[in-house]
Structure 1
Amino acid sequence: MTQSIVVQVGQAGNQIGCRFWDLALREHAHVNKKGVYDEALSSFFRNVESRRSDGGACDVIGGRIRCLKARAVLVDMEEGVVNHILQGPLREVFDSTQLLTDVSGSGNNWAVGHMTYGSAYREQIVEKLRRAAEHCDCLQCFFLIHSMGGGTGSGLGTRLLTLLEEEFPEVCRIVTSVYPSAEDDVITSPYNSVLAMRELTEHADCVLPVENQSLADIVNKIKHMSPSGIKRDSTVISGQGGVSGAEKPFDAMNNIVANLLLNMTSSARFEGSLNMDLNEIAMNLVPFPRLHYLVPSLTPLYTLSDVNIPTRRLDQMFSDAFSKDHQLIRADPKHSLYLACALMVRGNVQVSDLRRNIERLRPSLPFVSWNQEGWKTGLCSVPPVGHSHSLLALANNTCVTDTFMDLRDRFTKLYRKKAHLHHYLHVEGMEQSFFSEAADSLSSLIEEYSQLDATKRRLVPDAPRLTVAI
């Protein structure tokens, strides 16, 4: 059995990560009624004790499986969020030796996170990563969760990414990056995001970009579709998400991202008739090393009340996965070019359902001419709690250029005036050339995607019929 380690960096990274662990524990408790430590649990949890102090075996208490420690490393240069987690119901799930905090934060400055804290805490971070890896029998993947707009998530998060590449070059690095909206209240977020983009392009195996504005739009859409409100046991809300206190405005948004991770890791955590190895994501969806940004979409986005869902609604789930309303970035993939696509399905869905829906949707989805069969599929038999089935689609699609171009435009407006630049240049090791090189890297990435998108007009109408990769 393979294992994976989740690395949470910065405020958003730790809040999303906490939601992921809460949802994962609820899923395992729902399936593993006796609370016995098994292979499914070992993929993301380790067992620190086989028996309780009172002599009983590990069991389920209050809906949570005990005697487990998350395979996680939590890093933040402000201690507030991590301390809040340690005061909540998930406090026993995290090993205190796997936490790293400071008190002053990065001041929304990529250079402080990347240069200052990256250098000061390098050895401690490497030690914690090695210790987490030593607890794995067969380490398969690192999942890095961070945001792009602030200082710690963007700066220290991408510095940590390079450390992963240096220390564990053979282990897959999948990054979930939360991109700021145009109305972000951090004035320097375009700088931080573009500087971080260069590191993601160079050092990640796969990046799942998620936009704050898209998440907010989806939450509002769900509320509108559910007159009685969002249910507490739904995909979007998971109780208190492992954090004590009342629900906060970003909790529902964080839960959507956590559910993205939950669906992506389901094949590693549970059995299925067509399980997808995590390494296969990069192997099948990334035809060129730098073009590894995968657009995620989730469906359904709210808990369905019925258990036996008719075929008509099952087919609608597949259609929704390719609708712009279900993308976690604000883009319409149908109007751009697909390089590859993965469909990761959970619940009572058959291979024949997959084949039927792919064949049904294929004519409306423009695929690059040399990869007409560029589909990867996975079936996990265990659905999310409260659902009968769900679908995560990961598309390597040229529509990501819209997000990148918007980010570049916001960066250029600031950089042209040299606004706030001095805050970065005062940091030891930071040079102005970093800005121009990061902008050039982003422009080059946009150009590479755009050149492929231009081939869409030359696609052959009668392409070979699709076969599903198994």
Structure 2
Amino acid sequence: MKSSCLEIDNYYFLVLKGIYDEALSSFFRNVDTRTDGDGADICKGKICSLKARALLIDMEEGVVNEILQGPLRDVFDSKQLITDVSGSGNNWAVGHKMYGSQYRESIVERLRRTAEHCDCLQCFFIIHSMGGGTGSGLGTFVLKVLEDEFPEVYRFVTSVYPSGEDDVITSPYNSVLAMKELNDHADCVLPIENESLFDIVSKINQMTNCGKLGSTVKPTSLVTSSVGGIKNTQEKPFDAMNNIVANLLLNLTSSARFEGSLNMDLNEISMNLVPFPQLHYLVSSLTPLYTLADVNVPSRRLDQMFSDAFSKDHQLIRADPKHSLYLACALLVRGNVQVSDLRRNIERLKPSLHFVSWNQEGWKTGLCSVPPVGHSHSLLALANNTCVKPTFIELKERFMRLYKKKAHLHHYLHIDGMDQSCFSEALSSLSSLIEDYNQLDAANCGPPMDPPRLKIAM
């Protein structure tokens, strides 16, 4: 949210004049403070009070309270918060089955209220973690509610996957149970790994320490501490990690907020990048990596920016798309970039990328004329690629190490509506997803083979 607020600075002169424009209206409602704050946007182009188009849900109220006590407290509508006291105890069943049933009516009411204030509802974004109980359980419950209540509206999910050294012992259970819901109810999933985010922030710190960035790190940067020193890399800098995810979403939604010569609607991403319904997991790469307003560095050459976007160092998940199979790829560019620049770089990169035989020209491109704050241009690459398969295989292996011993199962099975079939169905769903990727890889190792493709499409 801090990064999205920084986008306002690009139109700061409008804000100073109190002008409410389309760029602001995508993320924020304009509320007349003379009313109870629940009316329509009636300020007639002038800013009264901005409220985020967001619903905050956490069963541990301290997390939301921390936001409400911070600098962004006035941005969130107090009527759009749903909290409990005790949390979900790192238990998917508590979040999904217990709290889901308990809070369904409140969630639906607030979702409808938010949707009614939208002039053109393009999609829903869900941002949640996979390892904990509330994020995995209640987060995927909300996803299913969205499908039930708004079946025609696209659902984009940003899912943060735990690392192998996660301190939540039951995170493999929670993640696999959540995966089944993502398989069944999401239109697009952008998997992100905590470990990758931490590596990115650590890399910035290392570059700063060795002088590669010179004195260009700002004193208020998220990559520095409050006393001006570099954060201890032994402690996870969550603000900086969260800001990277926010930058991903800002690039993803830029065409919906700003003008451009080749704007891309959000529904075009799913339409062009997801040839098979279940294979909707997209690998995201972002360049520049530096969080907005954190680091002042000379702009990368345009061609180098495209090369960076296909480098493992710029991905938000540990994977290797270049040595795996592409089903499709989208390039979302911001700044003073021409269509000819896009075409030139696609032609330059194509020989090094292995595209599926029946979609050799599977590129989708978008050009937004407004660059991100502090940079002349940026690029978000979204790849539907079989390289996500090792992440899912590793997750399955971690799940099986617990499940074979039936370890910790009793914590889940005592929740109403939960039985052991939930685990077997989730495991089967994940295994089926892995097998679909296996079929695609096998079909494209030799001569073209249609039967595996048709089997996936069924």
Structure 2 counterpart of 1:104? 86
Counterpart Cα distance in 2 of 1:315 and 1:459:
33
The 1:437/1:87 distance shift into structure 2, 3 A limit, reads same
Q: Does 1:421 align with 2:421?
A: no
For residues 69 and 273 of structure 1, the distance between their equivalents in structure 2, rounded to whole angstroms, comes to 29
Letter in 2 for 1:352: S
**Structure 2 regions of 5+ residues with no counterpart?**
36-42, 227-231, 449-458
Q: Is the 8 A contact 2:31 2:48 kept in 1?
A: no
Query: By how many angstroms is 1:43 displaced?
Result: 1.3
Counterpart position of 1:129: 111
Is structure 2 residue 166 aligned with structure 1 residue 189? no
Asked if residue 24 in structure 1 is aligned to residue 4 in structure 2, the reply is yes
Q: Distance in 2 between matches of 1:28 and 1:317?
A: 25
**What residue identity is the alignment partner of 1:122?**
R
- Report the 3-state secondary structure (helix = DSSP H, G, I; strand = E; otherwise coil) of the residue aligned with 1:43: helix
Aligned to 1:92: 74
Aligned: 1:280 with 2:268: yes
Secondary structure of the corresponding residue to residue 355 of structure 2: coil
> Structure 1 residues 207, 42: CA separation in 2 closer, same or farther (over 3 Å shift)?
same
- Residue 313 of structure 2, aligned match among 325, 330, 342: 325
Aligned to 2:240: 252
AA in 1 matched with 2:32 = E
2:348 to 360, 378, 382: 360
Q: Is the 8 A contact 2:287 2:308 kept in 1?
A: yes
Provide the C-alpha distance between the structure 1 equivalents of 2:124 and 2:219, rounded to a whole number of angstroms: 28
SS in 2 for 1:224: helix
Matches of 1:390 and 1:417, distance apart in 2: 48
CA distance in 2, matches of 1:443, 1:334: 24
Question: Residue 74 of structure 1 contacts residue 98 of structure 1 at CA under 8 Å; is this kept in 2?
Answer: yes
Secondary structure of 1:344's partner? strand
Deviation (angstroms), 1:81: 1.5
2:367 aligned with 1:379: yes
Moved more, 437-446 or 85-94: 85-94
How far did 1:234 drift?
9.7
Q: Counterparts of 1:264 and 1:33 in 2: how far apart (Å)?
A: 24
RMSD of aligned alpha carbons: 2.4
**What's the CA shift for 1:225?**
2.5
The verdict on how the C-alpha distance between 1:255 and 1:66 changes in structure 2, with shifts beyond 3 A counting, is farther
Say which is worse superposed, 201-210 or 43-52, in terms of deviation: 43-52
Query: 2:456 maps to which residue?
Result: none
Number of residue pairs matched?
A: 423
Q: Which residue of 1 aligns with 2:24?
A: 41
Query: What letter is aligned with 2:151?
Result: P
Is residue 67 from structure 1 mapped to residue 49 from structure 2 by the alignment?
Answer: yes
Aligned equivalents of 1:138, 1:58: Cα separation in 2: 18
Deviation of the 1:30 alpha carbon: 2.4
Query: Where does residue 10 of structure 1 map in the other structure?
Result: none
Which position in structure 2 is the counterpart of 1:12?
Answer: none
- Please report how far the alpha carbon of residue 252 of structure 1 lies from its aligned counterpart in structure 2 after TM superposition: 1.3
Equivalent residues of 2:59, 2:86 under 8 A apart: yes
- 1:115 maps to a residue whose letter is K
Q: Is the 8 A contact 2:4 2:246 kept in 1?
A: no
In structure 1, C-alpha distance between the alignment counterparts of 2:412 and 2:8, rounded to whole Å: 45
User: What is the percentage of aligned positions where both structures have the same residue?
Assistant: 75
Structure 1 residue 78 and structure 2 residue 60: aligned?
yes
Aligned mates of 2:320, 2:105 — CA distance in 1: 43
- Answer yes or no: is 1:231 the counterpart of 2:223: no
Write the distance in 1 (CA, Å) between the matches of 2:313 and 2:321: 11
What amino acid maps onto 1:210 in structure 2? I
> 1:230, CA displacement in angstroms?
7.5
Distance (whole Å) between structure 1 residues aligned to residue 66 and residue 144 of structure 2:
28
Maintained 8 Å contact 1:236/1:301: no
Partner of 1:243: none
Distance 2:57 2:269 in 1: 26
Instruction: Select which of 292, 296, 302 maps to 1:314.
Output: 302
Shift of 1:58: 11
Cα offset for 1:59?
11
Give the Å deviation of 1:239: 10
Distance 1:44 1:459, change over 3 A: farther
User: Where has structure 1 moved over 6 Å in runs of 4 or more?
Assistant: 57-60, 233-236
| AA in 2 matched with 1:97 | K
> Relative contact order: is structure 1 or structure 2 higher (C-alpha 8 Å, sep ≥ 6)?
1
Q: Match for residue 398 of structure 1?
A: 386
Question: What SS does the corresponding residue of 1:139 show, helix, strand or coil?
Answer: coil
SS at match of 2:98: helix
Q: Show CA shifts across 1:287-332 (max 9, x none).
A: 000000000011111345336x6xxx21111011111111111111
Report the AA paired with residue 5 of structure 2.
L
Distance (Å, rounded) in 1 between the aligned partners of 2:373 and 2:134: 33
Q: Structure 1 residues 269, 235: CA separation in 2 closer, same or farther (over 3 Å shift)? A: farther
Q: Mark the runs of 5 or more structure 1 residues left unpaired by the alignment.
A: 1-20, 241-245, 461-470
Paired residue type of 1:28: I
Q: Partners in 1 of 2:425 and 2:219 — Cα distance?
A: 46
2:431 alignment partner in structure 1: 443
Any idea what SS the aligned residue of 2:157 has? Answer: strand
Per the TM alignment, residue 66 of structure 1 is displaced from its structure 2 partner at its CA by 6.5
Residue number in structure 2 paired with 1:154: 136
SS at structure 1 position matched to 2:331 = strand
Q: Against the structure 1 CA distance between its residues 154 and 187, is the aligned structure 2 distance closer, same or farther, given a 3 Å change threshold?
A: same
CA offset at residue 203 of structure 1?
0.1
Q: Partner of 1:100: helix, strand, or coil?
A: strand
Is residue 337 from structure 1 mapped to residue 325 from structure 2 by the alignment? Answer: yes
Query: What is the alpha-carbon distance in structure 1 between the residues aligned to residue 344 and residue 385 of structure 2?
Result: 22
Q: Contact between 2:23 and 2:258, CA under 8 Å: does it hold in 1?
A: yes
How far apart are residue 196 of structure 1 and its match? 0.1
Cross-structure match for 1:290:
278
Match of 2:455 in 1: none
1:31 Cα shift? 2.1
Q: Is the 8 A contact 2:324 2:354 kept in 1?
A: yes
User: Which residue of 2 is the match for residue 169 of structure 1?
Assistant: 151
Structure 2 Cα separation of the partners of residues 238 and 217 of structure 1:
15
